[in-house]
Amino acid sequence: MKIKNCLLLGLATMSLATSAALAGEDLDRVMEEGVLRVATEADWVPQSFLDDNNEMAGFNVDVAREIARRLGVEVAFVTPAWEVITAGNWNNRWDISVGSMTPTEQRAKVLNFPAVYCFTPAVAVVHADSTVQEIAELNDQRIGAVAASTFELYLQHDLTIDAKGALPFDYQINPGEIRSYPTSSAVYDDLRLGDGVRLDALIDAMPAILAAIENSYPLRIVGDPVFYEPLAIAIDRGDQEFNDELARIVADMRADGTLTTISEQWYGIDYSAAK
> Looking at beta carbons only, is 45 or 73 nearer to other proteins?
45
Phi, psi of 10 (to 5 degrees): 85, -175
Could you give the C-alpha distances from 150 to 17, 55, 135, 161, 255, in angstroms and in order? 35, 28, 18, 9, 28
Is there binding between residue 5 and other proteins (CB under 8 A)?
yes
162 contacts: CB under 8 Å, gap ≥ 6: 103, 104, 105, 108
21 contacts: CB under 8 Å, gap ≥ 6: 2, 236, 237, 238, 239
Nearest to 154 by CA among 188, 201, 191, 117: 201
CA 149, CA 31: separation in Å to the nearest integer? Answer: 32
Nearest to 66 by CA among 32, 36, 23, 110: 36
Please identify, among the stretches 36-44, 68-76, 227-235, 262-270, the one whose residues bind other proteins according to the rule CB under 8 A: 36-44
Is there binding between residue 180 and other proteins (CB under 8 A)?
no
Q: Which of residues 185-204 bind other proteins (CB under 8 A)?
A: 185, 188-189
Shortest Å, Cβ 80 to other proteins? 4
Among 106, 172, 180, 183, binds other proteins (CB under 8 A): 183
Among 22, 33, 34, 51, binds other proteins (CB under 8 A): 51
Shortest Å, Cβ 40 to other proteins? 10
Is there binding between residue 217 and other proteins (CB under 8 A)?
yes
Among 22, 23, 81, 273, binds other proteins (CB under 8 A): 81
Find the distance separating the first CA and the last CA of the chain, reported in whole Å: 36
Shortest Å, Cβ 45 to other proteins? 5
Please identify, among the stretches 2-10, 104-112, 114-122, 123-131, the one whose residues bind other proteins according to the rule CB under 8 A: 2-10
Among 13, 18, 54, 131, binds other proteins (CB under 8 A): 54
Compute how many residues bind other proteins; rule: CB under 8 A: 33
> Looking at beta carbons only, is 86 or 272 nearer to other proteins?
86
For helices 25-33 and 240-255, angle between their N-to-C axes, nearest 10 degrees: 70
**3-state DSSP assignment of residue 103:** coil
Three-class SS string for 44-98?
ECCCEEECCCCCEECHHHHHHHHHHHHHCCEEEEECCCHHHHHCCCCCCCCCEEE
Is there binding between residue 76 and other proteins (CB under 8 A)?
no
> Looking at beta carbons only, is 18 or 131 nearer to other proteins?
18
Is there binding between residue 3 and other proteins (CB under 8 A)?
yes
Footprint on this chain of other proteins (rule: CB under 8 A): 3-7, 42-45, 49-52, 54, 57, 78-81, 84, 87, 89, 91-93, 183, 185, 188-189, 212, 215-217
